[in-house]
Amino acid sequence: MPVVHVALPVPLARTFDYLIPADAHPVVGGRVRVPFGQRSAIGIVTGISANSALSADKLKTINAILDEQSLFTASLWRILNWAIGYYHYPAGEVLFHALPVLLRQGKAAEMAPLWQWFATEQGRATALESLKRAPKQQQALAALLPGPLFRHELAEHMLTEGALQALRVKGLSDLRPAGNGGNGGVDWRHDFCVEGERHRLNTEQATAVGAIRGDDERFVPWLLAGVTGSGKTEVYLTVLENILSKGKQALILVPEIGLTPQTISRFRERFRAPVEVLHSALNDSERLGVWLKARSGEAAIVIGTRSALFTPFARLGIIVIDEEHDSSYKQHEGWRYHARDLAVFRAREENIPIVLGSATPALESLYNAQQKKYRYLTLGRRAGNAHPAHEQLQDLKGLALTNGMSQPLLQKMRAHLAAGNQVMLFLNRRGFAPALLCHECGWIAECQRCEHFYTIHQQQRLMRCHHCDSQRPIPNQCPQCGSTQLIPVGLGTEQLEETLGALFPSTPITRIDRDTTARKGALEFHLAQVHQGGGPASSSARKCWRKAIIFAMSPWYRCWTWTARCFRRISALRSASHSCIPRLRAGPDGPASKARSFYKPTTRTIPCCKSCCIKAIWISRNKPSLNGRQSRFPLFTSHILIRAEDHDNRQAALFLERLRQLLDTSPLRDDALWLMGPIPALQPKRGGRFRWQLLLQHPSRGQLQRLMAASLPLVNTLTQARKVKWSLDVDPIDI
Ligand code: ADP
Ligand code: ZN
Ligand code: ZN
């Protein structure tokens, strides 16, 4: 009896066999509806065999076949199946993750009609003046008069569904389905052209474009390293001209924070071709729409964050990953894939070029470039007429600090403010202070569920745990000794704002952190204020942008990610308030100053933070003479991290201990394997759960993979496996 093997979205590594009804033709990669336990479930066919290992009377039969052709392109199918093995993650969950939500739910893989609002006959005849008591309705009707609006466009026009519904009740507007959201079958390739403003490329840009263009018909991975503002986006756009004019499509991945209207409009303005964007504001049917348009070839460019990687394309010609170092490319829960790594894999499978761009490339990428796996391109100068930033390091040893700020920093700030410039300060801790300490007995307020200090939020009069978000009122008395001498220790943005207010009383100050930007639209509001030259008190735009940065460092080998994050914020600011901001990176009439403060600016920490080129030197210097500790850096070894959590602080460690024994006694274990743990996680308790981990390292990725694959089926036989919550992270980025 022929059977199909079906992957179901359940946390089990195995697939399930079903009988095929007569006259039915399931396809590999297509969906089927099958009985599963008491219910029915949607599954994806992973294979068809002449017979099953189980006897026919034990097997159930497929209920329905949902797809006549595979939902996956051949290359995506290979990538996903490879990823199932590599990340040791259940097949069903991986395959379902790669599909739009509506397809996971069993909806048909075709365009749903899009709805649009329009002004009725009566609405057109109504004088806008008559709606002046209902300004929102007035605005809504005015917006409909030039022509109908798609529902998903309302936000762009600052309209609400409520106002339109109110008009509908009055008979002035109505809703109708408008086609299938396609462009009526017109092929963009017929009238593709490059339009919009183009810069004359500088020599470095031209070299980069020439290199990529010269070899863009096959798989070539490029690492394009260039400081923010050096014109990387301009390089992507120019490279795309060639690809699109050959009728091929492009996939652009950006970090979560990078998906700004300005990035998108640069692509839209440059090409007369459909640009589709997968952003968080899309609803499920709009997402499916983008997926279908990419698959049919109707979309020329798809821009999206991490999961856009799984979009199927009819004629994919290039992948671009902007800010490739960004940690948002790594999925942090469930199937912990790295979109950059999978994208390189995809480019190889599709035999197309891939461009990884960054101001601060990941050490892994630099290493790949050094190993000649990637081709390396640099843009060393800022594009256009911006001057390079002036950087200065400040050793804080022995300096008097005013709430974290040294005198040299304060002097610089004073000078810039006096000259009418603006100043930016970065601090990686929100709230008023990161801890509350009893001056008498040393008690510290701590979240019991996470064993983590509460952060003091003075304005809200609350202590909040930044790990589980639990909150409690700030106590007046120490619960341990009764003293009222409770003092906030450390510095947070709220306190910095207060201090700055006292130091610079006449200077408007805008604080931007998660607390001040939680409300929708608040970030845009603050950015607009900054753009106008300062806080609410200031009205005239300042001439020039300059900035100072307070910098905090982490000892971990990824310490440069902090640099990257600051750069990212700066570029986010830039794109959010367009015209003036390019100057933020460097003033037009003088170099922007960028002072960072460090304790212990040792040679070890600074070089790898300062710039990518120096990081590259760091690698090349250290590689030949690696000491014991360095040789275990992730660049030179492959890592798998196994995490486990429990409620009683016993089972998780026990589970990992058993797992370690299992690995230790495996016939595939060799001397090069290095096991670390079980040890408590860096944050040993969170939300009432105790967290432990076991780290596996091996110089051979393949060897480590084989050991893991052979051991996993045995792990599930451990009794502790059912008592703890555990997960496996291949190539972890947070250890
Ligand atoms: P990046 O992506 O590296 O941050 P962009 O491509 O956004 O850099 O370029 C930064 C700014 O410089 C943009 O405003 C862009 O329009 C401008 N620019 C880029 N290339 C050139 C060039 N060759 N000549 C003049 N201006 C340029
Ligand atoms: Zn006390
Ligand atoms: Zn907590």
Task: Evaluate if residue 58 carries a pLDDT over 80.
Answer: yes
Q: Which atom of ligand 1 is nearest to the CA of 230?
A: 3
Tell me the C-alpha distance between 108 and 64, whole Å: 13
Does position 635 have pLDDT exceeding 60, yes or no? yes
Ligand 1 centroid distance, CA of 353 (Å): 22
- CA 166 to CA 148: how far, in whole Å? 17
Residue-averaged pLDDT of the chain: 81
- The best mutation among 203, 234, 239, 358 to test binding of ligand 1, ranked by most ligand atoms within 8 Å of the C-beta, falls on 234
Read off the tokens for 543: 């001439």
Q: Would you place residue 490 in the very low, low, confident or very high pLDDT band (cuts 50, 70, 90)?
A: confident
Give 484 Cα–ligand 2 centroid separation in angstroms.
8
Beta-bridge mates of residue 462: 457, 473
The stretches of 430-492 forming alpha helices (DSSP H) are: none
Please report, for residues 287, 653, 682, 687, 704, the alpha-carbon distance to residue 658 in angstroms, rounded to integers and kept in the order given: 44, 9, 21, 25, 18
Least Cα distance to 404 among 569, 553, 597, 605 occurs for 597
> pLDDT (tens digit, 9 = 90+) per residue, 88-134?
999 999 999 999 999 999 988 887 667 788 999 999 998 888 888 88
**From ligand 3's centre to the CA of 529, what distance in Å?**
34
pLDDT surpassing 70 at residue 318: yes
Phi, psi at 505, each rounded to 5°: -60, -30
| 168-186 residue pLDDT tens | 999 999 988 776 545 555 6
Q: Please work out whether the CB of residue 357 comes within 6 Å of at least one atom of ligand 1.
A: no
- What is the mean pLDDT of the segment spanning 458-462? 88
Reported confidence tier of residue 520, pLDDT bands at 50, 70, 90: low
Which ligand is nearest to the Cα of residue 441, counting in written order? 2
558 close to 548: Cβ distance less than 8 angstroms: no
What count of other Cβ atoms lies within 10 Å of the Cβ of residue 235? 27
pLDDT class for 385, splitting at 50, 70, 90? low
The protein residues having their C-beta less than 5 angstroms from ligand 2 (an ion) are: 438, 440-441, 443, 478, 480-481, 483
Counting ligands in written order, the one closest to the CA of 454 is 3
- Give me the mean pLDDT over the 527-556 stretch: 43
Query: Model's pTM, two decimal places?
Result: 0.75
